[in-house]
Amino acid sequence: MKALVLQAGYGTRMYPLTKDRPKGLLPVGGRPILDYLVRNVEEVPHIDTIYIVTNQKFYGAFAGWHRGFKSSKKIELINDGTLTNETRLGSIRDIHLTITEKDIRDDLMVMGGDNIFDFSLRDFADYFKEKKGDVVAVHRVTETERLRRTGVILMDRDSRLTLFQEKPANPVSELAVPPLYIFCRETLPLVAEYLREGNEADAPGNIISWLLRRRPVYGYIFRGGCYDIGDIENYEKIKNGLPQ
């Protein structure tokens, strides 16, 4: 299994903090956000390589982080070549770029770069192995405004997704899906098909609603925190450290 951390956004909702500094390198409790993501991925024995896709503007900053970060896994940076928010590829094109550039033929864990999870990704990967199908992480959120800023699902009693909404105005449930997925190796070629059809390439959740009409996608309900650092208000809540 491989892992991919999406870090190619420009963090415009967090200006001026992210005008000249990538969101993933903002400190939380004295450590970059990216440290938390990678350390969690390191706990998954199935994963041998972690890819981090970024853009041309912030590639140097991530390269500096990489030089100073000691990991038990192989880490590779990928530059998607963009310089501005207006020319960004979008998360799904960045996933496709990584798959093709690195010729990935293994199962792939994909995670957004602006969420910190305090549950074990090892358990998530074990669930994927058990289900033998694509899986998404799921947790219960009761606040409607939070649900409107994330993916929302319905699933059946076998935990198979029956509906996926991306940032819905009217959420159908309290089951929220942050950007954390594992795709089977057989699913990876479908990312190119999705893009060839001209589908939305920005928010990664859009491909989930497309996929579940073609193959089984399962939900893994996790117990633990999910801290979204998508805007300054949320960042201010945790910048001094995660809740104990």
Task: Return the pLDDT at 207.
Answer: 94
Task: Return the pLDDT at 126.
Answer: 96
Full pLDDT tens readout for the chain, 244 residues: 999 999 999 988 889 989 999 999 999 999 999 999 999 999 999 999 999 999 999 999 999 999 999 999 999 999 999 999 999 999 999 999 999 999 999 999 999 988 888 888 999 999 999 999 999 999 999 899 889 988 999 999 999 999 999 989 999 999 999 999 999 999 999 999 999 999 999 888 899 999 999 999 999 999 888 888 888 888 888 888 887 6
- Who's near 113: CB < 8 A, 6+ residues apart? 5, 6, 7, 9, 23, 24, 33, 34, 37
* Adjacent-strand bridge partners of 142: none
Residue type, 240: N
Token digits of residue 141: 């959120």
Domains and their CATH numbers in the chain: 2-236 (3.90.550.10)
CA-wise closest residue to 229 among 21, 6, 77, 28: 28
Task: Return the pLDDT at 244.
Answer: 67
